Amino acid sequence: PMSNPIARINGEFPATGRFALSAIAAVAMTTQAVEFENDVIEGNLDTTLSYGASLRTSDADPGNIGMANGGTRYSVNGDDANLNYDSGLFSNVAKGTHDLEVDFKKLQDVSLFLRGTYFVDFENIRGDSPLSDKAKREVGRDMELLDAYISYDLPTSIPMNIRLGNQVLSWGESTFIQNGINVINPIDVTKFRIPGSELREALRPVPLLSVSLQATDNLTLEGFYQFKQEEMEIDPAGSYFSTKDFVGPGGQYAMLGFGSTGQPNMESFMDNPLYGLLEGEPARVPTVSNPRFNPALPPSAANAPFLPSGAAAIPRG
C-alpha cells in the first residue's frame, strides 16, 4: 500500500534514500563457527548475528488512506499500514540464526542437523505500538526451531542418503515463476521483510522422508514422502507491508459499504412509480427490499430497489 520510497539500512541503499541516510550506521553482521568433539560425538555450531533497520523516507500518500481516516481513498480496508507508520524507522531488528551439525562416532554415517532462528524488532514490539498481539508475535518478536532431521548415508556402492524429519528440500529457488517444483516448502513472508534476512530463514521446513541417489557422476535421483502440510505465513494485519486490514494474523473485520456511491443516476427513475421512495422521501406504504433489482436494466414497477408490501397503489414522489 506504500507508494513512497523505502530505504533499507542493510548493504546497498536505494538511490532515493542514499543521501538522506548518510548519517545513519549500516548493518552489523558477524558469523562464527565453533567445533567440538568428545568420545561420543563431534560437530560444529555456526552462528550468525546481525542488526539492521528499515525506514520510511516520507509520509503516507493520502491516496492510500481511507476518507474516514483523513485520506482520499474510498475504502478503509487497506490503510492500517499507512496509519500505523509515519516517516522514519518501521523496523529495528536484532536477530540470530544457529546451525548445529552433530556426527555420532558409534553410529557411522549418521548425523543430526538442527537450525534455529530468533529476532527482536524493537520498533514493532513497543508497548505503544498499534499492532495487535497476534501481529506483534509475527513481526515484533519470535523464536523458532526450523530444520530438525537425522541423516543417514548408506554404505553401498551407489551413494545414497536418507533424511527423516523437518527439512527444506530445495528443488530450485526461483520465486518468480509460481507453482514450480520449488513449492515443497512454504514461505514465511515476514522473514523476508527483516533487514539482513536470508533465504534459509524464510523457507519453512516440513516433515519429510527424503531419499537421494547418486546414480552417476552427472545424474542424481531424488524422491520424498511428506507427512504434513505447513501453511504459508503472510504479513500480519496492520504491519508495514500488509495490504489488507482484515487479512493475516491480527485481522478482525472488514468494513462493507452499502451507500449510494457507484449507483445509477437517480434521475433515470423519474418515470418509476416508486420514485418518491427511491429519493429517500418518507414511504406512505410498507415496502420490502427487492432481491431481483438490477440497476443495469430500465426501471419499472417490478425492477426497483423496493416493492410494496400489501399496498394497492404506490404514490409518486
**Are 83 and 136 in the same domain?**
yes
User: Is residue 96 a part of any domain in this protein?
Assistant: yes
**Are 156 and 221 in the same domain?**
yes
User: Is residue 249 a part of any domain in this protein?
Assistant: no
Residue tagged 568433539 (cell numbers) = 37
Which is nearest to 236 in space by CA: 315, 124, 151?
Answer: 124
**Are 111 and 218 in the same domain?**
yes
Q: Are 175 and 128 in contact (CB under 8 A)?
A: no
Tens digit of pLDDT for each residue in 60-81? 889 889 888 888 888 888 889 9
**Are 63 and 198 in the same domain?**
yes
**Are 208 and 78 in the same domain?**
yes
Q: How far apart are alpha carbons 309 and 110 in whole angstroms?
A: 80
Q: What value does the mean pLDDT take over residues 124-143?
A: 91
User: Is residue 152 a part of any domain in this protein?
Assistant: yes
User: Is residue 232 a part of any domain in this protein?
Assistant: no
Q: How far apart are alpha carbons 95 and 196 in whole angstroms?
A: 9
Burial 20-55 (b: 16+ CB within 10 A, else e): ebeeeeeeeeeeeeeeeeeeeeebeeeebebbbbbb
Instruction: Quote the pLDDT of residue 14.
Output: 36
- What's the pLDDT band for 306 if we cut at 50, 70, 90? low
User: Is residue 243 a part of any domain in this protein?
Assistant: no
Tens digit of pLDDT for each residue in 83-117? 999 888 999 999 999 999 999 988 889 999 999 99
Residue, of 298 and 127, whose pLDDT is higher: 127
**Are 268 and 207 in the same domain?**
no
Question: Last residue of a domain, which of 180, 210, 226?
Answer: 226
User: Is residue 241 a part of any domain in this protein?
Assistant: no
Q: What value does the mean pLDDT take over residues 192-199?
A: 88
Give SS3 for 254. coil
Q: Are 170 and 182 in contact (CB under 8 A)?
A: yes
Q: What value does the mean pLDDT take over residues 13-36?
A: 53
User: Is residue 277 a part of any domain in this protein?
Assistant: yes
C-alpha atoms less than 13 angstroms from C-alpha of 50 in its C-beta half-sphere: 19
Q: Are 236 and 248 in contact (CB under 8 A)?
A: yes
Q: Are 97 and 116 in contact (CB under 8 A)?
A: yes
**Are 142 and 276 in the same domain?**
no
pTM as predicted:
0.69
Which is nearest to 169 in space by CA: 119, 220, 218, 219?
Answer: 220
User: Is residue 231 a part of any domain in this protein?
Assistant: no
Residue tagged 421512495 (cell numbers) = 277
Give SS3 for 12. coil
Range of the domain at 30: 6-226
Domains in the chain, number: 2
Q: What angle do CA 122, 128, 132 make, to 5 degrees?
A: 85
Q: How far apart are alpha carbons 131 and 252 in whole angstroms?
A: 12
Neighbours of 68 (CB within 10 A): 12
Given a cut of 90, whether residue 290 has pLDDT beyond it is no
**Are 140 and 270 in the same domain?**
no
Residue, of 279 and 54, whose pLDDT is higher: 54
